[in-house]
Chains A and B, each alone.
Chain A
Amino acid sequence: MAEQTANRPFAFWALYASLGVLVIFVQLLPLETEPRRWAAPDYMMCLAYAWVLRRPDAVPALLVAIVILLTDFLFQRPPGLWAACVIIGLEVLRSRAIFMRGGTFLLEWFTVIVVTGLVVVAHRLILMLFLVDPAPLALDASLFLSTAFAYPVAVAASHFLFGVRKAAPGEYDPVEAR
């Protein structure tokens, strides 16, 4: 799959969009209507960050923005803010992608954890700044932790299931991204 789509990222775009629909579908299932004490990871953010460090052209900012904005609307979050924070994090990682290509996975994981933490904290701070009641601290903290721990799983799934692998030098031109 990686060979076929080396120069055509459209397959990845379609894959990302359909995974987004799947995640929305599963999360909306009315299985648990009791309040939970912890938050599940934000799967679409996790996937976007895993992919941008491997194939920056697979996750254009506009696509991620549309998917996350849709989840903002459907999951009753203040619309737009979470999407804006995630996109800024995505672009920070995209600018680091070239330097990370030769690095170890631990370094990559650490970078993603830092970026995810900053995204969650920024989202919370802006909510407070605009006098919106923020969620309980435990929920935001568990969102951060579960997303951090879901990241290696997302990377493994991307590598083995979806064929999103680090490109060999010269395989494609990162400037084509977007």
Chain B
Amino acid sequence: MARDTSRRDDYVRPIRRLLIGLLVIVLFGVFLLWRIDSPRVERLRANLVDQIVPNFEWAMAPVTATTNIVADFRSYRKIYEQNQELRRELRQMQAWKEAALQLEQKNAKLLDLNKVRLDPKLTFVTGVVLADSGSPFRQSVLLNIGARDGIQDGWATTDGLGLVGRISGVGDRTARVILLTDSNSRLPVTIQPSGQRAILAGDNSPAPPIEFLEDPDLVRPGDRVVSSGDGGVFPAGLLIGQVAQGPDRRLRVRLSADYERLEFLRVLRSRSVEVIDEPGHLIGPLPARPTAEIAPAQEATDG
């Protein structure tokens, strides 16, 4: 039999090798295409996810719910301590509630005096988290709302309290949210009360570090971090979290959004942001100056 096999190898093997080589080249070609024309391939990816993941929805929801119930059940063992802790927190909260009520009344009075109108564009669409990124290399979640609900790339997403991430990749029925913890996430922030500008740079850790801070001496752990609105990335003033100092003395942000349980997310309708539909170019002198002047004019008519 051995001799028989080797004789057939004579022509089967080279063809097989050729086909495998072809397969590897095709796969590598997909990677190269992604590297060269990323937006197009990412759109393809968004459409693929849009086709596949909603089909899992009927099974995903019950399985996720069951697993979460089991996790909740485990925490019942610690219920007594939790109860005590909650009572303590409640006492503190009542003090805060009183303060908040007073502030609210004051604020309402001031708004009335000023005849302020809130921007009607700051409304939101709420979506349910369908799936996560599926691997620890990327931090993102998939929402069950997409282009048919008017979702656009670049819109901010919160969980009702704190900022969660931004929309990146919209399919017809789904939209992907890149979380602030993803290593590709960069967000201009303001640190209150000192007003320092910085960049919040995700690095795949639960508490992303603050980078490009002008004067670290003015920032203390516990300071509030809000989005600054620089570069038109996000509306200004969205709560992100609090400054904390990591064991490596780096300033990090403890995020206000509850990243352990992302279930319902609000996508804020913001004014249109720059659409990235072509691969990056070299940054050089601008060929036409007037483009820079048209942009603010448009914005003024929008607002």
Contact = CB atoms under 8 A, between A and B. Distances in A.
Interface of A: 24-25, 27-36, 38-40, 61-62, 65, 69, 71, 73-81, 83-84, 87-88, 91, 130, 132-133, 135-136, 139, 170, 173-175, 178
Contacts of B29: 80
Given A61-B23, A75-B133, 15 more contacts: A25-B56, A27-B134, A27-B135, A29-B63, A30-B141, A30-B142, A31-B64, A35-B139, A69-B27, A80-B32, A81-B28, A84-B28, A135-B204, A173-B5, A175-B12
Interface of B: 1, 5, 8-9, 12, 16, 19-20, 23-24, 27-32, 34-35, 41, 45, 48-49, 52-53, 56, 59-60, 63-64, 67-68, 129-142, 179, 181, 183-184, 203-206, 259-262
A89 to B, nearest CB: 11
Contact of B31 (A61, A74, A84, A135): A84
A139 B27 CA distance: 23
A134 B130 CA distance: 26
Contacts of B260: 33-34
Given A28-B56, A35-B181, A76 B20 contact: no
A73 B134 contact: no
B206 A34 contact: yes
A133 B64 contact: no
Nearest to A91: B20
A87 B27 contact: yes
A84 B29 CA distance: 10
Nearest to B7: A175
Contact of B60 (A29, A65, A80, A135): A29
Nearest to B68: A31
A166 B53 CA distance: 36
Contacts of A80: 27-32, 34
Given A30-B131, A91-B20, A136-B204, A78 B139 contact: no
A90 B63 CA distance: 33
Among A30, A32, A69, find the residue whose CB has the most chain B CB atoms closer than 10 A.
A30
A39 B132 CA distance: 14
Given A29-B131, A136-B204, A175-B8, A74 B48 contact: yes
28 contacts: A24-B134, A25-B56, A27-B135, A30-B64, A30-B132, A30-B141, A30-B262, A33-B129, A33-B141, A33-B261, A38-B136, A40-B136, A69-B30, A74-B52, A75-B138, A76-B134, A76-B137, A77-B135, A79-B41, A80-B27, A81-B27, A83-B27, A84-B24, A87-B23, A130-B31, A130-B35, A132-B35, A175-B12
Given A30-B64, A33-B262, A175-B12, A79 B30 contact: yes
A76 B53 CA distance: 13
B55 to A, nearest CB: 10
Contacts of B183: 133, 135-136
A134 B179 CA distance: 18
A73 B45 contact: yes
B136 A36 contact: yes
Contacts of A33: 129, 132, 139, 141, 179, 259-262
A35 B59 CA distance: 24
B136 A79 contact: no
A39 B1 CA distance: 45
Contacts of A34: 181, 206, 259-260
Contacts of A36: 136
A39 B23 CA distance: 27
